[in-house]
Structure 1
Amino acid sequence: MSIYLDEKNPSKHKPFDDASPDIVEYVRYLEVIAGKSANTAFSYYCDLRGFSRFMKRRKGLVPEDAEMKEIDPKGLDTAFWGSVTKEDIYEYLYFLNRECGNKKSSTARRLASLHGFYDYLVNQVNRLSQDPTASIKPPKQDKVLPKYLTAEQSRELLESTQYQSDFPERDYCMVVLFLNCGMRLSELVGMDLGDIDLEQRQIRLFGKGHKERMVYLNDACIEALQLYLKKRNTMEGLDPKEKAVFVTRRRKDRISNRRVEQLVTSAMKAAGLKGFSTHKLRHTAATLMYQTGNVDILTLKQLLGHSSVGTTQIYTHLQEFQVRAAIEQNPLGEVKKASLDTTEREAGEISGENAAPSAKINDSASKSEEAAPSGPMEAFEGAANDGFRADVSAMKEPEEPVQE
């Protein structure tokens, strides 16, 4: 049996019990004690069920040619988890990469699920004494810069939502909030009317791990919300008790994540924008604020609701125009190159400035008696003259005969 979360009410789900007892208890621990969101707990739950299937096939508990999705993930006890070795973990990571085609980020997350599970068994409930994942590090991640829309592309998208939608007030408002506040999709869908304070120009959001934060609204957000809420509150058939901010036009209830993605994708397509997802609007907001809003990295971290500043650091690499400006502002950037001419000149055209070294040496030697150096260079007068008067021609090495 597969468990699927209700995206409108992810915390109200059926028990995660389609796995071995240790995994079921660990997932409950994540939600109740560790305070992880239902989505996070569900992701770990799916990862550990997948690992259970892999280990059953690896240990010969099912036929070797058994399809992974057909293997029952239940029936493994604590002693079995204690028998898992480091080599088993490495084989699992190899399987994810070679047979499943997982990206490095996906493999890292599945390894994190195993780290957490074994940490629970060893340190939280003391059922095992050793952790086979302890010294295994995740694959080194590729440093990929987030993809985002330019300011001009963002304007085109906003224009598109006004003319390519059957509910333009709602769709325009959602995109405005995405682009100005940098909120997550789940945060926008989960907003309730009580979370909005137009007088104080702010919205209360609940991010990952039930973390609450306040996001302030600029003029564009205030105007878009006022236009939409006026339309929403006069919708025929809307339940007065419906507390969701964004609702569907047909069912008159909270809009789903998937529906928002469809609407945004449609608006992007109409605007001629390809290769962008709804989450890229969050990247766009963060990038534009950091580049043009004089926002420091700690402020941006708080605004986006990141738990670690390391996550926010990706936006510090987007300042190409600042890097270019730094190069241009280098004081040595004004120095022009000297007049260099390495072409062979005709006899008699060699000037004192471009004379050959031998000519300059002889010239300086002839003038040394007329103008003796003074100041700091006076101490080097004798050595310099001796060096300049050396017979360079006598130092040439004889040419070796050509050997046939």
Structure 2
Amino acid sequence: MSIYLDEKNPGKHPPFDDASPDIVEYVRYLEVIAGKSANTAFSYYCDLRGFSRFMKRRRGLVPADTEIKDIDPKGLDTAFWGSVRKEDIYEYLYFLNRECGNKKSSTARRLASLHGFYDYLVNQVSKLTENPTASIKPPKQDKVLPKYLTAEQSMDLLESTQYQSDFPERDYCMVVLFLNCGMRLSELVGMDLGDIDLEQRQIRLFGKGHKERMVYLNEACVEALQLYLAKRNTMEGLNPKEKAVFVTRRRKERISNRRVEQLVTGAMKEAGLKGFSTHKLRHTAATLMYQTGNVDILTLKQLLGHSSVGTTQIYTHLQEFQVRAAIEQNPLGTVTPEKARLDTTKRAAGENRGENNADSMDVEEAASPMEAFEGAANDGIRVDISSMTGDKETV
């Protein structure tokens, strides 16, 4: 039985039962009681199956030279989980780093899966009395600044969606929503027609953990949606009962995450943009809003749908933008020295003071103050879309 999720309907999946009974029960608890999404539960499930394989080899339950991927994760009972010690956990983290090449963030997530599993066994169902992960802290994470597009690169991407796409109204609209609303890929793909209220200029999104939030639409988003929906609603062969906002051109069904990634990647390539993923458009929206929209960190947290302000803190590095501008706007920033008085190198060699002026280099004028990205937040990021409003035939 396949244990992988259908990305279009992740909540409708076969039971996760290719693991020990305690793990299966824990994953059911995550989905039903704790209210975690199917994707989150599945991630924890995969992590715990991986730990099961590692522990089977560590305890000699399989030949020492058995590949981890070939080990059956089933067959471990509650007594086995109770026998796991802190040193086993540390050895597993070492294995993830040295043999699997996991990044610190991936290792931390797998440790979080173990924390949750043992907390469940000890505190939720009282099957164990000790938690071997209780005092183990995740590896200290590297502070990596989010990668994002500049305003100019964003405009180039929007231009690209109009000319390289076989469904420009749809692709342009998706990129506009990414860049202006900062929504996740899964949130955009999961949008239904009933979630859009153009009159009130807002969209209802369902984020991680089934968390609902309202995102307000600026003029660019409203215009792009109106243009796309007019085209979508006249598509030949589209089922009138289809509720998905974004659909495929051929099959007339909800577009998949992978297809959106392919379309955005293609548009970026045509725009000459390399090294950017679809998720970077979310970072771009947050960055541009923080830089130019006078948005505080708590407002940005709500807009992005973060459960903790700590997640949103990655954007606080953008304060450097304002700091640089403030320094450059200092009225003393253009004061230049009397070079002949300050350059004492030649004087020390016995040369005349007046000779210093001839050989000294001019001091460059201070750079002009940095200017914030122009364009009111109410207007949004968009380009001229008049080319899509004519009688052009869509292939």
Bin for the TM-score computed over the shorter chain: 0.7 to 0.9
Q: What is the aligned partner in structure 2 of residue 59 from structure 1?
A: 59
Shift in Å, 1:321: 2.6
Q: Does 1:249 align with 2:252?
A: no
Q: Which residue of 1 aligns with 2:175?
A: 175
1:80 is aligned to: 80
For the pair 1:3 / 2:3, whether they are aligned, the reply is: yes
Alignment pair present for 1:193 and 2:171: no
Paired residues of 1:147 and 1:280 also in contact (CA < 8 A)? yes
Identity of aligned residues (%): 90
Give me the whole-angstrom Cα distance separating, in 2, the residues matched to 1:276 and 1:130: 45
Query: CA shift at 1:313, angstroms?
Result: 1.0
Which stretch of the first structure deviates more once superposed, 317-326 or 259-268?
317-326
Which residue is 1:296 aligned to? Answer: 296
Counterpart amino acid of 1:306?
A: H
Q: Which residue of 1 aligns with 2:365?
A: none
Q: What per-residue deviation string (whole Å, max 9, x for no partner) do you get for residues 315-337 of structure 1?
A: 11023331212333567757765
Q: Is the 8 A contact 1:20 1:73 kept in 2?
A: yes
Alignment of 1:101-250 (within 5 A): 101-250=101-250
Q: Match of 2:114, as an amino acid?
A: L
Distance 1:289 1:130 in 2: 47
Distance 1:341 1:232, change over 3 A: closer
Distance 1:334 1:164, change over 3 A: closer
Residue type matched to 2:342 in 1?
L
Aligned residue for 2:272? 272
Q: What's the counterpart of residue 69 of structure 2? A: 69
Which digits, 9 at most, give the CA deviation of each residue in 1:144-182, with x for residues without a partner?
000000000001100000010111100000000000000
Cα distance change of structure 1 residues 135 and 198 upon mapping to structure 2, 3 Å threshold: same
Contact preservation (8 Å) 1:2, 1:18: no
Does the 8 Å CA contact 1:115/1:133 hold for their aligned counterparts? yes
Give yes or no for contact 1:20–1:74 (8 Å, CA) kept in 2.
yes
Normalised to the residue count of structure 1, the TM-score between the two structures is 0.83
Query: CA offset at residue 86 of structure 1?
Result: 0.6
Q: Please, what is the CA RMSD of the aligned residues?
A: 1.7
Separation of aligned partners in 1, 2:336 and 2:134: 58
Whole-angstrom CA distance in 1 between matches of 2:172 and 2:331: 47
Matches within 5 A, 1:376-387: none
- Deviation at 1:348? 12
**Structure 1 residues 274-283 or 1-10, which shifts more?**
1-10
Look up the match of 2:93: 93
Cα distance in 2 for residues equivalent to 1:336 and 1:160: 46
Q: Which amino acid aligns with 1:340?
A: L
Q: Which amino acid aligns with 1:35?
A: G
Unaligned runs of 5+ in 2: 354-395
Secondary structure at 1:319 match in 2? helix
Tell me the distance in 2 between the aligned counterparts of 1:119 and 1:306: 24
Q: Is the 8 A contact 1:44 1:110 kept in 2?
A: yes
> What is the identity, as a one-letter code, of the residue corresponding to 2:86?
K
2:193 maps to a residue whose letter is L
- What is the CA–CA distance in structure 1 between the aligned matches of 2:278 and 2:284, rounded to whole Å? 10
Q: Write the letter of the residue equivalent to 2:3.
A: I
Does 1:46 find its partner at 2:46?
yes
**Per-residue Cα deviation, 1:60-81 (whole angstroms, up to 9, x for no partner):** 0001011111111000000000
Amino acid at match of 1:11: G
Q: Against the structure 1 CA distance between its residues 331 and 86, is the aligned structure 2 distance closer, same or farther, given a 3 Å change threshold?
A: farther
- Please list the CA deviations of residues 81-110 of structure 1 after superposition, one character each: whole Å capped at 9, or x if unmatched: 000011100110011011101011000000
Please state if 1:340 is matched with 2:342. yes
Deviation per residue, 1:245-276 (Å, 9 max, x gap) = 00011111100000000000000001110000
- For 1:13-52, list aligned pairs within 5 A: 13-52=13-52
Taking a change above 3 Å as real, the CA distance of residues 159 and 344 of structure 1, as seen in their structure-2 partners, is closer
> Number of residues paired by the alignment?
349
For 2:290 and 2:280, locate their aligned partners in 1 and report how far apart those are by CA, in whole Å. Answer: 15
Task: Give per-residue Cα distances to partners, 1:106-150, cap 9 Å, x unaligned.
Answer: 000000000000011111111111111111111111100000000
Distance in 1 separating the partners of 2:334 and 2:161: 48
Equivalent-residue separation in structure 1 for 2:4 and 2:32 (angstroms): 19
Amino acid at match of 2:220: A
Secondary structure in structure 2 of the residue aligned to 1:54: helix
**SS of alignment partner, residue 63 of structure 2:** coil
Gaps of 5+ in 1: 350-404
Question: Which residue is 2:368 aligned to?
Answer: none
CA distance in 2, matches of 1:322, 1:329: 10
When Rg is computed on C-alpha atoms for both structures, the one with the higher figure is 1
Cα pair 1:145 1:318 within 8 Å, conserved: no
Aligned mates of 1:331, 1:164 — CA distance in 2: 48
1:270–1:329 CA distance, 2 compared to 1 (3 A): closer
Report the AA paired with residue 101 of structure 2.
G
Q: TM-score, normalised by structure 2?
A: 0.85
CA separation of 1:346/1:34 partners in 2, compared to 1, >3 Å: closer, same or farther? closer
Per the alignment, in what secondary structure is the counterpart of residue 214 of structure 1? Answer: strand
Provide the C-alpha distance between the structure 1 equivalents of 2:23 and 2:330, rounded to a whole number of angstroms: 59
